Amino acid sequence: MQTENTSQSEMLLQELLAAETAVWTALQQGDVAADRAALHPQFLGVYPSGFAGRDDHTDQLSQGPTVAEFSIEDARVLPLGPETALLAYRASYTRPGQTEGEAEGAAMYVSSIWQRQDGGWINIFSQDTEALPEGVENPLL
C-alpha cells in the first residue's frame, strides 16, 4: 500500500511540475495564449505587489517575455482532494535584460493550487513569497 501511495504521489508531482513548467515557459516565451490556457478564469494570484487575476497575469506579457531563465527546485505536492492538489517549490529565475550580478539571489517560494479539468490541470491559485537572500538567517529556525 505504501508503495502505491508513493508512486501515486510521485506521478501527481510529475504531472503538476509539467503544468507549472508550462506557465514558466509561457512567461519565458511571452506566450499570452499558453499562459491564459493554464489559468482558471477565476485564477487568483497573491504576490508581493498584491492580488492579481488571470487577465493581470497574462497582461504582464504585453511587452514580451518576463522571465529569461528559470529553474524549479525542492518541489513537493499536497493532495487537497480527488481532483485538486497544491504544488510548492522554490523557483530561481532571471528577468530579461538583467546582468549576471543583478540576477544573483532572484528566487521565490511558490505555492500553487491546481485542479484537474478535462483530463488536464488548470491553475486556480498561486502565491509567491520572495526568498531570503543567501546567507540571511531564517528567523523561523
Q: DSSP letter at 72? A: E
**pLDDT score, position 105:** 52
Q: Is 30 helix (H, G, I), strand (E, B) or coil?
A: coil
Q: Is 94 helix (H, G, I), strand (E, B) or coil?
A: strand
Provide the residue-wise pLDDT of the chain in tens; the chain has 141 residues: 455 667 889 999 999 999 999 999 999 999 999 999 999 999 999 999 999 999 999 999 999 999 999 999 999 999 999 999 999 999 999 989 876 665 555 899 999 999 999 889 999 999 999 998 877 888 877
| Contact of 108 with 91, CB cutoff 8 Å | yes
Nearest to 25 by CA among 61, 1, 56, 63: 61
**pLDDT score, position 101:** 60
CB atoms within 10 A of CB 48: 9
| 37 φ/ψ sector (left φ>0, alpha ψ -120 to 50, else beta) | alpha
**pLDDT score, position 1:** 46
| Contact of 127 with 101, CB cutoff 8 Å | no
| Contact of 59 with 82, CB cutoff 8 Å | no
6: its cell numbers = 508513493
Q: Is 129 helix (H, G, I), strand (E, B) or coil?
A: strand
**pLDDT score, position 132:** 86
Q: Is 73 helix (H, G, I), strand (E, B) or coil?
A: strand
User: How far apart, in Å, are the Cα atoms of 46 and each of 12, 49, 117?
Assistant: 24, 8, 22
